[in-house]
Structure 1
Amino acid sequence: MSLKITVIGTGYLGATHAAAMAELGFEVLGLDVVPEKIAMLQRGEVPMYEPGLEDLLRKHVAGIEGSTGRLRFTMDFAEVGAFGDVHFVCVNTPQRHGEYAADMSYVDSAIASLAPHLPGPTLVVGKSTVPVGSADRLATYLAEHAPAGADAELAWNPEFLREGFAVGDTLHPDRIVVGVRSERAEKLLREVYATPVGEGTPFVVTDFPTAELVKTSANSFLATKISFINAMAEVCEAAGGDVVKLAEAIGYDDRIGRKFLRAGIGFGGGCLPKDIRAFLARAGELGADQALSFLREIDSINMRQRGQMVELAREALGGGSFLGKRVAVLGASFKPDSDDVRDSPALNVAGQIHLQGGQVTVYDPKGMGNARQVFPTLGYADSAVEAVRGADVVLHLTEWQEFRELDPAALGEVAATRLILDGRNALDPEVWRKAGWSFRAMGRPTA
């Protein structure tokens, strides 16, 4: 008999996981507590921009013409409990308000709502990013509150999705990590992931704490690499060096590698910033805070980049006030191929300049709706050309392909001043300078 799978929480992670499980051939039931979200998903629509996800949903959501019908949605935990052999918990763990620690209330609520509806042997699988020690606590809770008792098992299976690549990362992951306490749990998860494992994806079996630590460790390493090259950009600014050439040179060392070595205004989004802060908080609770003290500096370097971009813009405009200056900002999402503006460096820079009196106009290919909700007082344009019209300076802050393909000559016709600052080191200086632009990039004072 084929396994039946449920996915609790249908946000970015859950919607992707549910669609991917249906693509792998399973009958899937997704649950959320937000009626509007369920209604959208039942129409085959997603509440966020993620390349390929809507097509995958429409291929499988029941009731859509031509779909496999393998994917349905509900708001009823009793239906989920009766339906599933394996229940994936994919709810959010945001930063707790006013603290570094993770807010576990959504995970705790999901487990508490599910437990009473588990009468027989079942496997509950956490995918959310949680503080180490959470799985042990939740496993105890499940055993005590599910009618099945100890037969309601828990496993932990961290997600490694990259926004913009989530569908591919789910169907063809670079590794699968499972924290389990029994051969049965391991066997069930091997069955769930048989297709990617058969394609060669490594399947790493660990204990609970290690599985919980893998995601936060990976994100901490990536954050460290990004902040390292941004620290080198600061040194290059002071010394007259070129951080792009520096990154190229050290990237040829295969112990270092070339990925995540593009200096700029730093990382943002819903994962890296809150995950490293939650890791710091949990290490403190465990008495291991000194081991992660370097992450405070990583966070500090990252946040400092935003202020440095603002100062670079001020210098470019003559070093005085932003009052009366028109500033075009290309980019609102925290990274390309996403409409996610959570903790976006681009929007943060735009907001700082606006608060200092600048007339800021923002354009982003996908993030405009979300940006307007976060910063309604900024100006918004429907195209890059309209954003740049009349601008005294242009700031390139999210490295969308659309921005790399812009025609500098055409933009120059509408700008008040041909002055561009590249906050992502993703544009070609020569192309812009040939079109008459003054070009400046972070960490490249002489390039």
Structure 2
Amino acid sequence: MNILTNKNILVGISGGIAAYKTAELVRLFKKAEANVRVCMTAGACEFITPLTMQALSGNIVHTGLLDPEAEAGMGHIELARWADVIVIAPATANTMAKLVVGMADNLLTTVVLASKADLLIAPAMNQQMWAHPATQENVSKLASRHSLLGPAAGEQACGDVGYGRMLEPQAIFEAVTTHFTSNSENKQLDQKLAGHQVLITAGPTREPLDPVRYLTNRSSGKMGYAIAEAAQKMGADVVLVSGPTNLDCPDQISCIRVETAEEMLKAVSAEASKSTIFISAAAVADYRLKEVATKKMKKQGSSLHLELEQNPDILATTSKANPDLFTVGFAAETNDVIEYAMGKLKRKQLNMIVANQVGGGKGFDKDSNQVDILTDGGDHISLPETSKQQLAFDILDVVCQFYSKDQSNKS
């Protein structure tokens, strides 16, 4: 039996050209034996007909806020109570803005506001609309409440190229399947991490050049913080060693703030022997200035030469000094992602590494991500693009699985 069998999935469609893809998504849900109902905005009906969705879902499509044929004329309450999960695909910039402030001016937004069901949002819009600060602010707020699926990058219907494409139906289907799988296993996952101290690093480091300037990178710390919060919810005692970020430390988590790679290594070394799992999600600077200026450096000539020296390798040092510590690294690469991640896994003697593409609008300072997980036993697990909050649980699910396997092999 499929995990989606007899699950009640309400598919919301807002008015974007990507609505044509939702027909395939509904077909996939039905093939997995889910119960599917469809709710369409007026704009969505301009792109694809309700009759198409009715034929695919096997149910009447809901479009009006006040339905005289529904029970007591309150169709939105019926839908809100019926749904196990709500999937909005596509979610336009307009619909996302309404969800942020809790507007209820059409059937779809009203159902969302009236429902306790989990909400998964698949954005789709022009690349410039996605990049607009107002949209990004809305994305950040929605990601703190719900699961965002995508968007993907590529060529768009308008001819532009960039982020804003709705994820392909298969990717959304897999994310929804993972969502139900994670929910059904949450209690088991909690039990697996209960009694464990999980040590996590997050964010960038800052390496000073003088009292004013420093070297750093684009890491926001969002992925590491999401993993820390997920681990705590799964029963672990969490110690989060964080470089400089704009994020607040999650509740019930011990947070150690550091600036430089040396400070991070010192904090990690102090906690490693007390931990059972170490997840190094921080983006640590590889180099630092050999001699930091005591005064602000003044502009001299047309060029400046800085002599750098290598920072300590926190991940390799910790792994080799603590052979019983289950160590998980991260590899953020702009190219040849799997090849470089595999090399890092072996070179630093890790149990597992999480690889992801960065650059070109991917990875750093985004609210969603897609990763590949490689293990020292040769396993390769690909996790679909989803919100970093959901991805954190998905990553920890894999960590728990292989940690248990590692312990069994040692006993």
Answer yes or no: same fold by TM over 0.5.
no
Could you say which structure has the higher strand fraction?
2
TM-score, normalising length from structure 2? 0.31
TM-score normalised per structure 1: 0.29
- Larger proportion of helix: 1
